[in-house]
Amino acid sequence: MNEIRKIEIVTGFACNNNCMFCSVGDKLRSFDKTTEQIIADIDRAVSENPEEINFTGGEPTIRRDILKLVSYAKSKGVKKIRATTNGRMFSYEKFTNDIVEAGLTGAIFSVHCPDAKLHDRLSGVPGSFGQTINGLKNISLHGKTIDVNTVITSETYKLLPQTMEMVKDYVRSVCLIFPTIDGHLKLNKELIPRMKDAEKHIHAAIDVLKSAGKQAWTMNYPVCFMKGYERFSSLTELKTKMFWPHMDTILDEKRKGDNTLVDACKDCRYNLVCIGVMKNYVTEMGDSEIKPVKGESVKSASEVYGEG
């Protein structure tokens, strides 16, 4: 394992949304770290000298101590301090000004569709869409680095290009995430999309971002569905460590453990560089969609990024 570039500190599982597809939905509001525990996490993270510390949850921005935590990370010399967020707190100008002043250098917003009614239903909170989009606009005024995570569901995959049109002027990049079948999604399995059904819409969404000069990449989505878009597959190591409430996780190791190579993968040219398909997806949806890509064997991810 190479060096860790980013450390994500899970502050706990409190959240002001209740998303139907949340991968930790079964843990929401079950645990929150104390201020002292997170300060200890920051100290431990700093000792590993990462390029970035990211606060995540749950929803870290609803913590009463979030300004103190960001300020403390800044005082320890951390250059990149970000938060993964649903963005709703950033709809308040004072909060946005205060957290930027405290030392926040950017944010990763969760934006899943361009339709307010659908977004609010999926997030479980009426009015959340408006707050998220206003928050995105507010922090963009500060010139901070903004990335977006978009979770793909059966009700939103056809809207992916429109979602990208909506956010493209505010962001550096978008990660298009095929959902982890865990947490709330286990209770709302009708939201699990078919990988093949989403394929052309994912490609179209990437086209929107490419045309706008923005970065795009996919997560939990095998490269066999990315013909012509192979370089947007997540084949390289993320080099991220997560500090959970009761354990640490190397994200690359977790991803490999959560995925499997199915029979079709044996004859695929990407067999050596692709970690396969999520085990939970195969359990729920089968593996009939997975088809091997013919051709000369690809021996390193760097070869892929010259394709497509």
pLDDT tens digits, one per residue of 30-44: 789 999 999 999 999
Domain 6-258 has CATH 3.20.20.70: yes
* Three-state helix/strand/coil letters over 213-249: CCEEEEECCCHHHCCCCHHHCCCCCCCEEEECCCCEE
d(CA 281, CA 222): 12
Strands 145-151 and 173-177: parallel
Contact yes or no for 298/269 (Cβ under 8 A) = yes
Q: How many CB atoms within 10 Å of residue 81?
A: 24
d(CA 49, CA 44): 9
Q: Is the pLDDT of residue 284 over 70?
A: yes
- DSSP structure string for 60-76: GGG-TTHHHHHHHHHHT
Buried b / exposed e over 128-154, threshold 16 CB at 10 Å, is: bbebbbbbbebbbebebebbbbbbbbb
Give the Å distances, CA to CA, from 147 to 86, 130, 144, 178.
12, 18, 10, 17
Which of 258, 114, 285 is closest to 189 using CA atoms?
A: 285
Q: What is the pLDDT of residues 132-181, one digit of tens each?
A: 999 999 999 999 999 999 999 999 999 999 999 999 999 999 999 999 99
The confidence band for 290, taking pLDDT boundaries of 50, 70 and 90, is very high
Q: What is the mean pLDDT of residues 180-184?
A: 94
pTM of the model: 0.95
Contact yes or no for 192/280 (Cβ under 8 A) = no
d(CA 214, CA 147): 10
Q: Is the pLDDT of residue 209 over 70?
A: yes
Contact yes or no for 128/15 (Cβ under 8 A) = no
- For the chain, how far is it from start to end, CA to CA, in angstroms? 28
Confidence (pLDDT) at 3? 83
Alpha carbons within 13 angstroms on the beta-carbon side of residue 147 total 16
Q: What is the mean pLDDT of residues 177-203?
A: 97
> What residues does each domain of the chain span?
6-258
Chain CA centroid to CA 181, Å: 14
Q: What is the pLDDT of residues 213-266, one digit of tens each?
A: 999 999 999 999 999 999 999 888 899 999 999 899 999 999 999 999 999 999
The mean predicted confidence, pLDDT, of the chain is 95
Q: What is the mean pLDDT of residues 47-52?
A: 96
Strands 259-260 and 277-278: antiparallel
What is the C-alpha R_g of the chain?
19
